[in-house]
Amino acid sequence: MHEQHIASAFDRDLEAIQAQIMKMGGLVEAAIMDAARSLETRDEELANQIRVGDQVIDDLEEMINQEAARVIALRAPTAVDLRLILSVMKISGNLERIGDYAKNIAKRTGVLVNMTPVNDSASALRRMAREVEVMLKDALDSYIQRDPDLARDVIERDHEVDQMYTSLFLEFLTFMMEDPRNITACMHLHFIAKNLERMGDHVTAIAEQVVYLVTGEIPDESRPKADSLNQTF
């Protein structure tokens, strides 16, 4: 009976933590798309809201980590349950980093609004952001549903984000070579593309946690990355 009580208490604690993870995930998904939209529409007010809202995401990560540490200390979880708690902490850490990248993009918006737009780069970056946001939604769904196949699908789709990044990098390079007046704007735009590519990496890390959590196996990480181009600007 005592063990049943501890198990049910652990389940309640875990449900509460997972609810916070989903809340955090929703805020991060919104931040990704708001950052892209603020860039495309040159909306400085929206960009500022993203920067302010990042504190809420940071606070949620801290709350999740504190609650996870409390559960470990009080419930003495089994090896399987401990893996579950540690995965929650890793997922929240990846979500926090994605939120930081969204904030970084928003910071660049304030600079780019005063510059001449470079081709349709803002809409191309929005499409890239949309791909990352859908990947994140699916990664979080795979976590809640304990669905390793969906998680593996998310991992594979990171290749598409890498390809979009490589294409944009080469495009920005061409614009800079054609007209030196494009250099400053293209450097900012490249920074944004790089942030989106890094977001994809963190979404992939969340999906890998799901695969590990459900199967006990760590996915193969030997695939080549897009930034093997060794960009230097």
Q: Give 187's Cβ-side CA count (13 Å radius).
A: 7
Cβ count within 10 A of residue 170: 12
Cβ count within 10 A of residue 47: 24
How is residue 120 annotated by DSSP?
T
Reported as a single tens digit per residue, the pLDDT across 144-165 is 999 999 999 999 999 999 999 9
Q: Specify the amino acid at residue 111.
A: V
Q: Mind listing the pLDDT tens digit of every residue in the chain (233 residues)?
A: 445 545 687 888 889 999 999 999 999 999 999 999 999 999 999 999 999 999 999 999 999 999 999 998 988 878 878 888 999 999 999 999 999 999 999 999 888 988 888 888 999 999 999 999 999 999 999 999 999 999 999 999 999 999 999 999 999 999 999 999 999 999 999 999 999 999 999 999 999 999 999 998 877 755 555 554 544 44
Its pTM stands at: 0.89
> Which domains does the chain show, CATH number per domain?
2-229 (1.20.58.220)
